[in-house]
Amino acid sequence: MSADRPPSPPHPPASAPPAPAPDASGRLPSDESRSSFVRIKRMLFGGPKDIEDRSLLHRLSLVAFLAWIGLGADALSSSAYGPEEAFKAIGQHRYLALGLALATAGTVFVISAAYSKLIENFPNGGGYGVAARMLGARVGVVSGCALLVDYVLTITISIAAMGDAIFSFLPTSWLPWKFSGEVAAIVMLLGLNLRGIRESILFLAPIFIIFIITHAVLILGGLALHAPEIATSARAISDGYQADLSTIGIGAMLLIFLNAYSMGGGTYTGIEAVSNALPLMREPRVQTAKRTMVYLAISLAVTAGGLILCYLLWRVEPTEGKTMNAVLAEQVGHMLPLGNVFVIVTLAAEAVLLLVAAQAGFIGGPRVIANMAVDSWFPRRFAALSERLTTENGLYLMTLASLAALFATHGRVDTIVVMYSINVFLTFSLTMGGMVRYWLRRRGPRKIQVRRLALFGFGLLLCATILVVTVVEKFSEGGWITLSVTGALVALCFLIHGHYQKVNAKVAKLFGELAGLPHSGKAVAALDPAQPTAVVLVAAYGGLGIHTVLNVFRTFPGHFKNLVFVSVGVMDSGGFKGDDTVDALKERTEEALRKYVELAARLGVPATYRFEVGTDAIDEAERACIQICKEFPRATFFAGLVIFKRERWYQWLLHNDTAHAVQKRLHWAGKTMVILPARIR
């Protein structure tokens, strides 16, 4: 591998206009910072956050109550369709509803308990991390892709169901605006999340609280008001059971129950969200996440199981144009003071909660994307944090994907819910299987090991059963679509990973060729800031940086007397997990720079280094370079860039263009910067 020989560095003509002066912080008033776009962006989404602020993580993190609102709304919103689908599936065998309510609540507790124990052993992994570590990277990719599609469909189904609910109250003349309203709701959530996750949850919290209060009244009031007829209902359940036992038999009864239980699989969606968003929790994170799981489990089990029980006791029948929750609310409301007001508030809260539920997709989806990007299964730029410390690129991707799903399904909830449930239980099954393997291999107290194996083994049985039944029953009704989309995404991830592996292998080969440079034997003089200075922008210590340094002296022999190495420690979502992460990032950055200074010593050139840390490599590199110009007035800047013989259309997405971006800013400032290529064949 060799570098193209670039022309001599350009020098500004004598008549060139003076360079803009930096502000007090050392940053230049570039076109971008002066633009009205940036000012509007700051007004809408807030200003940048300082990652070196020790109190920042504490202020951004979520206490258990806020995490329950932001992540539990996804699970609770499933009560708008999950229990209804299960109850409809039992048909005339309504006595099965009692067992169905108990099984639903029990399944919620089993899956929640399993994920609560998972958090203890995999505090930063979630379902993707468990599958990747315990079942292999390839299986982990399948789990991650299934989870990602699930989060996209979380947004889509929540917004589509919200549109159905809200526009059922409005005049039919407003229906043409329904789809536009759903699109606007997704865009609004994007804007809220660009400001920050905590800010978006605080905005949506009142809706969640109203839902909890109204549905507690609905379920508890429904059970209390029907208490005088408990004996009559018990006899009806017993009579129905005896009649079916003598006609269709216990086997057929179990099949009907199993089908209804599986059709209610949408009830359990969202339980995994807490484990995937653990880095957002308030310290101590594990304890906060486990407390959140308790809140989620109790609220979902009581809501889902209570609704099924109320359907049975109040003899609720499916009604055209109304949900079963709406029918139940009307029946209970007629026996309450201000019943009409209660019905409207309850149904409106249920409808708008679906908007809050979509928030779980915007919280969990970008986290999964970022984790996979750190492992090179997604373009690495998706691990980057914005100046507001949000995974901005992931938020944009989730928005576009959910809008595409909304367009493709025309907002049909019955189609989306099938796609949704399949991927949820594919992820659940892989996660439970991974935890079974973890406890089979782990050595520890026998009693604890047996308990954990029983918990995760039973969870695997439940999840795999629901997955198989749902795929078989609903394959032709949308199941094949979600399997095809997930399979295509898995294939894309393998292509991306393969590309990164090839490039890394070639860069590693370059490092191997250059790492063992002999010492020049020259005595290293002291730095003289008045002499011509080569300022080299580097990242980690490796082949590209070494290649760039050697090319500087090969291209401009005998000209430069000093070397200054500049690096930016970029904080991404994979590293921003604790108060000590900034210090660790600084230490890693300085360690790499010290190696470059040692390299310069072997070449006999005096050298030093400067660095910045932040979330944007371009902004921080510009700041550092402008400061260096004050200390070394005869500085010329250099950066290395990996180039390919044949440029492909997708390479702009897989590889950043930091070198060109920094060069453009320094050129605007009147400084000289040269990009030296490293050719990858």
Delimit the domains of the chain by residue range: 54-497, 515-680
Q: Which residues pair with 570 in a beta bridge?
A: 614
Query: What per-residue confidence (pLDDT) applies to 3?
Result: 38
Q: Which two tokens stand for residue 74?
A: 């996804």
Query: What per-residue confidence (pLDDT) applies to 60?
Result: 47
Distances (CA, A) of 623 to 29, 567, 583, 662, 667: 11, 11, 20, 10, 14
Q: Which two tokens stand for residue 207?
A: 């809706």
Q: Which two tokens stand for residue 64?
A: 């258990």
Give me the helix-helix angle, 178-195 and 36-45, nearest 10°. 90
- Exposed/middle/buried for residue 559 (C-beta within 10 Å: 0-12, 13-18, 19+): middle
Distance CA 610, CA 607 (A): 11
At residue 473, the 3 state secondary structure works out as helix
Contact of 421 with 270, CB cutoff 8 Å: no
At residue 309, the 3 state secondary structure works out as helix
Q: Which two tokens stand for residue 199?
A: 């800010």
Whether the link from the prior residue into 284 is cis, omega within 30° of 0, is yes
43 CB-near residues (< 8 Å, 6+ apart): none
Contact of 370 with 573, CB cutoff 8 Å: yes
Q: What is the DSSP string of 84-102?
A: HHHHHHTTT-TTHHHHHHH
Contact of 256 with 96, CB cutoff 8 Å: yes
Q: How many CB atoms lie within 10 A of CB 155?
A: 28
**Torsions phi, psi of 248, nearest 5?**
-95, -20
- Which among 592, 582, 584 has a CA at the least distance from the CA of 540? 592
Its sign, for the CA torsion 180, 186, 188, 190, is negative
Query: What per-residue confidence (pLDDT) applies to 469?
Result: 87
Distance CA 351, CA 279 (A): 30
What CA dihedral angle connects 389, 394, 398 and 404, to 10 degrees?
140
CATH of region 54-497, choose from 1.10.287.110, 2.60.120.260, 1.20.1740.10, 3.40.50.460: 1.20.1740.10
Distance CA 269, CA 272 (A): 8
Give me the helix-helix angle, 392-409 and 178-195, nearest 10°. 170
Distance CA 658, CA 655 (A): 9
644 CB-near residues (< 8 Å, 6+ apart): 651, 679, 680
Query: What per-residue confidence (pLDDT) applies to 39?
Result: 56
Distance CA 21, CA 361 (A): 44
Query: What per-residue confidence (pLDDT) applies to 515?
Result: 59
Query: What per-residue confidence (pLDDT) applies to 512?
Result: 64
Contact of 640 with 463, CB cutoff 8 Å: no
Query: What per-residue confidence (pLDDT) applies to 347?
Result: 82
At residue 281, the 3 state secondary structure works out as strand
Q: How many CB atoms lie within 10 A of CB 9?
A: 14
Its sign, for the CA torsion 524, 528, 532, 533, is positive
Distance CA 596, CA 542 (A): 9
Contact of 630 with 665, CB cutoff 8 Å: no
- Residue 270 Ramachandran class (φ > 0 left, ψ -120 to 50 alpha, else beta): left
Percent helix, strand and coil across the chain, each to the nearest 5: 70, 5, 25
Query: What per-residue confidence (pLDDT) applies to 391?
Result: 61
Strand order across the beta sheet in which 607-614 lies: 607-614, 562-570, 533-537, 635-644, 673-680
Tokens 């399979």 belong to which residue? Answer: 487
Query: What per-residue confidence (pLDDT) applies to 204?
Result: 67
CATH 3.90.550.10 fits 515-680, yes or no: no
For the chain, 681 residues long, the average pLDDT of each consecutive 10-residue run is 38 42 46 50 50 44 77 79 88 92 94 91 74 87 89 85 72 78 86 66 79 91 87 88 91 91 83 76 84 92 94 86 83 86 86 77 80 82 55 82 87 73 87 92 85 94 90 81 90 91 77 61 79 91 86 90 88 48 79 91 91 77 90 93 75 74 86 86 65
Distance CA 110, CA 461 (A): 11
At residue 612, the 3 state secondary structure works out as strand
Q: Which residues pair with 609 in a beta bridge?
A: 565
Contact of 537 with 637, CB cutoff 8 Å: yes
Tokens 């940053």 belong to which residue? Answer: 27
In total, the chain counts a number of residues equal to 681
Q: Which two tokens stand for residue 452?
A: 């954990």
Query: What per-residue confidence (pLDDT) applies to 219?
Result: 93
626 CB-near residues (< 8 Å, 6+ apart): 22, 26, 27, 28, 669
- Residue 170 Ramachandran class (φ > 0 left, ψ -120 to 50 alpha, else beta): beta
